[in-house]
């Protein structure tokens, strides 16, 4: 009787395998936080043995750093794509906001509304660790510079009100994104993430256009 051979497991290209590991790790860190996520659980989530995960990452800290850097790289790509398109300043900000909303919602997709206790710890752990803290500071700065330059251009070209303050507005927009993330991670049942994010972005743009009064 002929022996039935099991089909060989297809080896994924390294970039594909790495992306799958980071996606799985991001999901589990979001659910359990940095401290509670164990390497064996992270390996299982990524469809690897524990040894297989250690082949790619020497320890949990290096994996966590890679997840944070991957999140930062996604925001960098959004900025790059927004700058590469021939759009007026108003449309550029609108598209940037749309892409950021998509990215923000992606952090919480395919999970139940009770499964985010680790998201807050992941956020604060990233800001605490020396290496990731430095990279997070840099991406905050790059977002502020992108938005400030775009708003300044919009003021010059008449898209935004002369009263718009580019640097102040840019810092406010970053605070808006951080605030949405923290509130939703704390209590995902309190509001619809996309609806609130889209609404706040609309109010922000109306303020730049001078359609919102700041008079008491």
pLDDT at 107: 80
Q: Is 1 domain-assigned?
A: no
Q: Can you give the pLDDT at residue 5?
A: 55
- For residue 180, being part of any structural domain is answered with yes
Structure confidence at residue 214 (pLDDT): 47
Residue 17 domain-assigned?
no
Q: What percent of the chain has pLDDT over 90?
A: 70
Question: Does 111 or 150 have the greater pLDDT score?
Answer: 150
Provide the residue range defining the domain that includes 128: 61-209
127 domain-assigned:
yes
pLDDT mean across residues, the chain? 88
Q: What is the pLDDT of residues 81-126, one digit of tens each?
A: 999 989 999 999 999 999 999 998 888 776 555 556 688 888 999 9
Dump pLDDT digits (tens) for 34-82.
999 999 999 999 999 999 999 999 999 999 999 999 999 999 999 999 9
By the 8 A CB rule, do 33 and 122 touch?
A: yes
Which of 213, 208, 178, 214 lies closest to 94 in space, CA to CA? 208
Q: Is 88 inside any structural domain?
A: yes
Q: How much of the chain exceeds pLDDT 70, in percent?
A: 88
Q: Does residue 9 fall inside a structural domain?
A: no
Count Cβ neighbours within 10 Å for each residue of 30-43 and write b for 16 or more, e otherwise: bbbbbeebeeebbb
In a domain, 2, yes or no: no
Confidence tier at 211 by pLDDT (50, 70, 90): confident
Q: Classify residue 187: in a domain, yes or no.
A: yes
Instruction: Give me the CATH number covering residue 125.
Output: 1.10.357.10
Determine the 3-state secondary structure of 200 from DSSP: helix
pLDDT at position 131: 92
Total domains present in the chain: 1
DSSP reduced 3-state for 131? helix
pLDDT for res 216: 45
């Amino acid at each position: 009787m002929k022996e039935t051979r099991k089909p060989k497991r297809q080896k994924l290209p390294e970039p594909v395998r790495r992306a799958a590991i980071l996606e799985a790790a991001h999901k589990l860190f979001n659910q359990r936080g940095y401290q509670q996520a164990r390497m064996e659980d992270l390996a299982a989530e990524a469809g690897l043995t524990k040894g297989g995960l250690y082949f790619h990452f020497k320890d949990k800290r290096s994996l966590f750093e890679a997840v944070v850097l991957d999140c930062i790289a996604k925001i960098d790509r959004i900025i790059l794509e927004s700058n590469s398109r021939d759009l007026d300043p108003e449309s550029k900000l609108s598209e940037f906001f749309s892409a950021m909303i998509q990215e923000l919602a992606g952090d919480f997709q395919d999970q139940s509304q009770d499964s985010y206790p680790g998201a807050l710890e992941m956020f604060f752990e990233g800001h605490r660790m020396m290496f990731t803290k430095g990279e997070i500071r840099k991406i905050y700065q790059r977002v502020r510079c992108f938005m400030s330059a775009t708003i300044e251009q919009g003021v010059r070209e008449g898209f935004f009100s002369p009263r718009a303050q580019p640097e102040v507005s840019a810092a406010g927009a970053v605070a808006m994104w951080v605030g949405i993330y923290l509130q939703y991670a704390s209590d995902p049942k309190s509001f619809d993430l996309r609806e609130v994010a889209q609404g706040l972005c609309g109010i922000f743009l109306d303020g730049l256009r001078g359609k919102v009064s700041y008079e008491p």
